[in-house]
Structure 1
Amino acid sequence: MQPIVIIGSGMAGYAAAREFRKLNPEQELLMICADDAANYAKPTLSNAYALKKAPEQIALGDAEKMTAQLNMKILNHTWVKGIQADAHELQLEHADGASSVQSYSKLVLAVGANAIRLAIAGNGSDDIRTVNSLNEYKIFRANLDQCQDKRVVILGAGLIGCEFANDLQNTGHQVTVVDLAPQPLGRLLPSHVASAFQQNLTESGIQFVLNTTVEKVLKNDDGTYSVSLANGQALTADAVLSAIGLQPNLSIAQDAGIQTSRGILTGADLSTNQSDIFALGDCAEVNGLLLPFVMPIMQQARALAKTLNGEATAVHYPAMPVAVKTPAAPLTVLPAPADVNVTWETEEFDDGMLSKAIDTEGTLRGFVLLGPTAAKQRLALTKLVPDLIPAAN
């Protein structure tokens, strides 16, 4: 029997392997990845500085350790150049330039998402950093360690941008966040909560420049950067970080005739339209839902492990709140489904607020908890929200 092959060594790939090994210690498993296959949790990157975690302390295990731990062969620094779905074969290219063919019995796409990069003018634009992997984080940290005045401009006031802003502000950096949106966390928060959230971060020292975007980044002779904004404002920075979002990696799936939309399209069982090919993680759009967060990945991995082991299992999505790592403004968000009309009911506290998203039938469909007092209601409120994908009967 050919091995089960997992493409990708991120959180999703390792979670799928780990959950499958709990059920089946013997079936041959093969992981293929373009990087070094270090096992780490990507969400830890956005608050590692304040926690005094050096980049080399973040990885939980290298390829050798994970091979032994999961009884799994790992081909790192190896690229999948094509998928022959009918033949159940992969075309591989190795670090030494050699090519080979790998057969599979079942294939798991855990290929993640790439950082979106804006087309920005100027001779400093190539120095704009993204942090979507541990290797990129190592480069960014090395840049930060060389910053004399510790001035950092962050492009993007979304979840990752705000988390990095808070982390860097807590470590003595002067942070300015630029975003085209009128508020931070525009896709997650209603405007009245976003305003309070922004105020809390501003009081911690973070500066926001909203309703505009970066047009040009010039590198100065002293190694600093001049950042020109569309509103005419100019900023000086020692480092520039782009955190404007992620785009699922779809090319390998599309070339193999696998259906995609925003992500790789799967049913509730995580299967694609091609036989014996599955997808999970940041690349997977499951039943129309693209949820690049930790809890959905864990739910996917548990369900997929059972399916790969012969027990067809649909993923169950309960209500899954997202904790935003911004200590200056402690925040938990459970977004309401995008296709549901809701009204917001808000209760204010001395240290924050609780906002509930109520649909037309009076059902709680989401909530936002800002501050320590509101956070205490997380568990009770989560139980009241209907499942996103109900458990199978």
Structure 2
Amino acid sequence: MDRAPQNGVVILGSGLGGYTLARELRKLDAQVSITIVTADGGESYSKPMLSAAFAQGKDALSLMQKSPGQMAEDLKATILARHRVAAIRRDAKTVVIRRPDGDEMELGYGRLVLALGADPRPYVAEGSETAGLRTVNDLDDYAAWRAALSPGARVLLVGAGLIGSEFANDLAGAGFCVAVVDPAPWPLGRLLPQALGEEMAKALGEAGISFHLGRSVTRWSMGRAELDDGSAIAYDQALSAIGLIPRTRLASEAGLVVERGIKVDGSLATSDPAIFAMGDCAETPAGLLPFILPLMAEAKALAATLAGCETPLKLPALPVVVKTPALPMVVCPPAPGAVGDWVMEGAGRDRKALFVSPQGKALGFALSGARVNERQSLAKEMPDLL
């Protein structure tokens, strides 16, 4: 039975969160034992690039920044790639891990960090299980997706949110024929006011993307999607990008408090003080934070805590850059449940929208075109997330 030192840190997940945490922790503590367990290949890569790689001609290999062996050397850590965690045994402070050959091992921990990420939300409709509907959530998915696409293929993309819009722009830029279906009346419907959403739809339309907004797929068959208005779309490949579901099963089965995500306090500790969670799987006091900049802030704060200096998470307003070259966009959404109205400035592609409370305080913003350069100054005026 393999067991890490009892003062060691075990990180479950080798995504941007897990690797950034390990890197920050190693800066602060040269001696602590770090073990990273991942069901993936353990390669270091930029996940946000998955939705912007086709137009740049990048395959999975060219997206890889470092191999797991290089990461292990850089971090002075043990990396267990293609190992799946079967259970967390809190009483013994161990995790049960299934090796690639199917055998199991136990790994002890002093502190355990859940950087498990999230799974793509499944699109449930008649025939969806057998229609070849794909998702892209990691480097393995991207490699399979890229291999499946032939030049000029007709791609049906379900979801016009942040990731869906980025994928649509990327695929159209790479020469694919792209159609997008979403029940919302405009792209990025949860992030943008109507005027900016309609401007985004116009820009992506001019890039060759056809939109079927206010519509849902009600029935799938291989190569054909029937919509709720009776129309149909023929496709060669279909991709679903309708959101993410935090990976909480391990935490729930271990008896940790789980709501929308794994509940953590201001120091990212779960209901077990020896176990922490961060990234897409964690529900912080500010809620779920499925964006890159909050994840980086979490990694720095948690690394300091694990190194012996408890550091509460502090989050200023963190704008999100939307990777849509057809229309550059930056969004800093108001907190969920915030009361107010969008106030617009400008016209056409270059616009500024402020979400203003009844008391006249700006709580969020969205910028498009040439106005995106205002993001840093505006972000300083927004309320902190934490």
Q: Do they fold alike, i.e. is TM over 0.5?
A: yes
Structure 2 unaligned residues grouped into runs of 5+: none
Matches within 5 A, 1:233-272: 233-272=231-270
- SS in structure 2 opposite 1:60? strand
Q: Deviations over 1:238-275 (max 9, x none)?
A: 11011111100010000011111111110110000012
Question: What is the CA RMSD across the aligned residues, in angstroms?
Answer: 1.3
Query: Are 2:156 and 1:159 equivalent residues in the alignment?
Result: no
Between 102-111 and 357-366, the greater mean CA deviation after superposition: 357-366
Q: Percent identity?
A: 40
Between 104-113 and 254-263, the greater mean CA deviation after superposition: 254-263
Aligned to 1:222: none
- SS in structure 2 opposite 1:215? strand
Tell me, in whole angstroms, the C-alpha distance in 2 between the residues paired with 1:265 and 1:354.
Answer: 35
Tell me, in whole angstroms, the C-alpha distance in 2 between the residues paired with 1:254 and 1:288.
Answer: 21
Cα pair 2:119 2:246 within 8 Å, conserved = yes
Matches within 5 A, 1:283-298: 283-298=281-296
Aligned to 1:300: 298
- SS in structure 1 opposite 2:137? coil
Aligned to 1:383: 380
Matches within 5 A, 1:1-393: 1-2=5-6, 3-122=8-127, 125-144=130-149, 146-147=150-151, 149-219=152-222, 225-372=223-370, 374-389=371-386
- SS in structure 1 opposite 2:54? coil
Change in 2 beyond 3 A, CA 1:303/1:123: closer
Tell me, in whole angstroms, the C-alpha distance in 2 between the residues paired with 1:155 and 1:187.
Answer: 15
Aligned positions, number: 381
Q: How far does residue 216 in structure 1 lie from its aligned partner after superposition? A: 2.4
The letter for the 2-side match of 1:376 is: N
Q: How far does residue 352 in structure 1 lie from its aligned partner after superposition? A: 2.2
Tell me, in whole angstroms, the C-alpha distance in 2 between the residues paired with 1:76 and 1:248.
Answer: 21
Q: Deviations over 1:118-166 (max 9, x none)?
A: 223338734111000110001111111x25x421100001111000100
Tell me, in whole angstroms, the C-alpha distance in 2 between the residues paired with 1:52 and 1:249.
Answer: 31
Tell me, in whole angstroms, the C-alpha distance in 1 between the residues paired with 2:82 and 2:183.
Answer: 37
Structure 1 unaligned residues grouped into runs of 5+: 220-224
Q: How far does residue 357 in structure 1 lie from its aligned partner after superposition? A: 0.9
- SS in structure 2 opposite 1:91? strand
Cα pair 1:265 1:288 within 8 Å, conserved = no
Tell me, in whole angstroms, the C-alpha distance in 2 between the residues paired with 1:138 and 1:253.
Answer: 29
The letter for the 2-side match of 1:59 is: M
